[in-house]
Each structure stands twice: as structure tokens, then as C-alpha cells.
Amino acid sequence: MSSAATVFSLKPATFKRYFITGLLIWIPLVITVWVLSMIISVMDQSLLLLPQAMHPIHLLGFNIPGVGAILTLATIFVSGVLATNLIGQRLWRSWEQLLARIPVVNALYNAVKQVSDTILSPNGNAFRKALLVEYPRKGSWTIAFLTGHPGGDVANHLQGDYVSVYVPTTPNPTSGFFLMMPTADVVELKMSVDEALKYIVSMGVVPPVPKSARPRGKPAPPSSSQTPGNS
């Protein structure tokens, strides 16, 4: 019997199961390729900063996708290398002083810089903990991320201990809501930020794997109730 005849002879339930299995294989792959192609396409726009004579289509006669992405990554890396030495730090401070004298640009740049420094800094506390909060109404719970503590004049109007949290939307966690909640109303979760983000993006379809169900690796360190030498 040919493969075509075999397909048409399948029961509807079996055909549906095979079809869904195929979707589960291709959907993540297609979306991943689509997202990567969008990122590379955006990064390729950095070629516009180069003279026309240096574009691949003029040098080689055809375009090479990804050259702009490589140029962008190289620029970021070289900028980081230069900013870590004394001369680079002086140039960077001079550039920031110049931006500080430009109205509007100064306010926008400082706001973006504070957010990026807080999120990307290795010593920062933003998005270091996943929380369980009661939102948007009582009895309804969602996952949020700790971003810090209220400051400025806002803290003067809050009675008690409060924390600042970010509640992301699903399935796009780049948008969400900023809330200031009593510390007693948030529950710290025993999961990493990556696990929490995966849970949010999947709309709850992919729950975090309990530590007890993970493959065995290095033995866990002794708890506070156990000391070396005690049986």
C-alpha cells in the first residue's frame, strides 16, 4: 500500500493527532526563524551608516544577509572595550556632558540610561526575583517581577513596607503594568526569572519543572538545619 493510500485510510482521530504533532514540530521552528530574521533585518540597517562604496552589493555585486548584524555586534563589543579604559571613559563622559546641554534630549537620554543601567547592570536588583501577586482583582493571581522599592516623594505617601513590581502581559512580556504593593501581599517564588518568563510567554502551557523532577546533578548543599559531620 502506498503512503498516499495509508494517509487517506487513517481514522480522523489518528489523522488529527499526526497533524497536531506536525504543527508542534514546525510552529516553534518557523516562529524562531521569523524572529531571528526580523532581528537580523533590523540590525542590517546599520549598513546605512557606511558609505555606499563599502556596501556588499557594491563590493561583491550582491547582498549578504547578516553583514549588518555582524557589524552591529562588533560595534557594540568594540564600544565596550573602549569604554573600559581610561581614555574611553573620558570620551564617554565628554559625550554625556554634551548631551546634558541639549533640551529634551537630556531628559530622554537620562531616563533611558537609568532604566538600562538598572536592568542590565550585573549588580542591579531589577528582575532578579519572580513573585506571585494578587492582580487584577482579589482571588486572581499572576506572576510579577521585583524591580525595587518606591522612592522619592512617592515613598512619603506610602504607609508601611512596599515593593515595586512589574506585571508583564501575556504572551508579550515587554508590555505590562508597574505597581507598588505591600511587601506582605507578594509571595516570592522558588523559580528563576527565565522559568517565570517562559511560563508567561507560553500562557501557562509550559509550567516550570519542579526541582525534584529535574535530572540529578551536583548534590544540593546542606540546609541550615544540617551541619557537616551530622548524620
Asked if residue 29 has pLDDT above 70, the reply is yes
- Whole-angstrom Cα distance, residue 4 to residue 107? 65
Q: What is the pLDDT of residue 9?
A: 62
pLDDT tens per residue, range 140-177: 999 999 988 898 889 889 989 999 999 998 888 878 99
Taking the CA atoms of residue 58, residue 64, residue 66 and residue 68 in that order, the dihedral angle to the nearest 10 degrees is 0
pLDDT interval class at 131 (50, 70, 90): very high
State residue 121's pLDDT score. 61
Backbone phi and psi for residue 131, each to the nearest 5 degrees, phi listed first? -125, 160
Hey, what's the cell of 172?
A: 508579550
pLDDT recorded at residue 227? 38
Residue 218 — very low, low, confident or very high, per pLDDT cuts 50/70/90?
very low
The per-residue pLDDT for range 37-94, each reduced to its tens digit, is: 887 777 777 777 777 777 777 777 777 777 777 888 888 888 888 878 878 788 888 8
List the chain domain ranges.
Answer: 130-208
User: What average pLDDT does range 117-131 have in this prediction?
Assistant: 69
**Region 112-131 average pLDDT:** 70
pLDDT of amino acid 224: 39
Q: Given a cut of 70, is residue 119 above it in pLDDT?
A: no
Collapsing DSSP to helix, strand or coil, 178 comes out as strand
Return the DSSP state at 128: -
pLDDT tens profile 170-204: 888 878 999 999 999 999 998 888 888 888 888 88
At 171, give phi and psi (nearest 5°). Answer: -90, 10
- Angle among Cα 154, 116, 66 to the nearest 5 degrees reads 155
CB atoms within 10 A of CB 200: 23
Q: Are 150 and 201 in contact (CB under 8 A)?
A: no
Structure confidence at residue 85 (pLDDT): 81
Place of cell 579604559: 85
Lowest mean pLDDT among 9-18, 187-196, 212-221: 212-221
Q: Which three cell numbers stand for residue 188?
A: 516570592
Question: What is the rounded distance in angstroms from the CA atom of residue 212 to the CA atom of residue 223?
Answer: 16
Mean pLDDT of the chain: 78
Task: Compute CA distances 52 → 10, 30, 59, whole Å.
Answer: 58, 33, 9
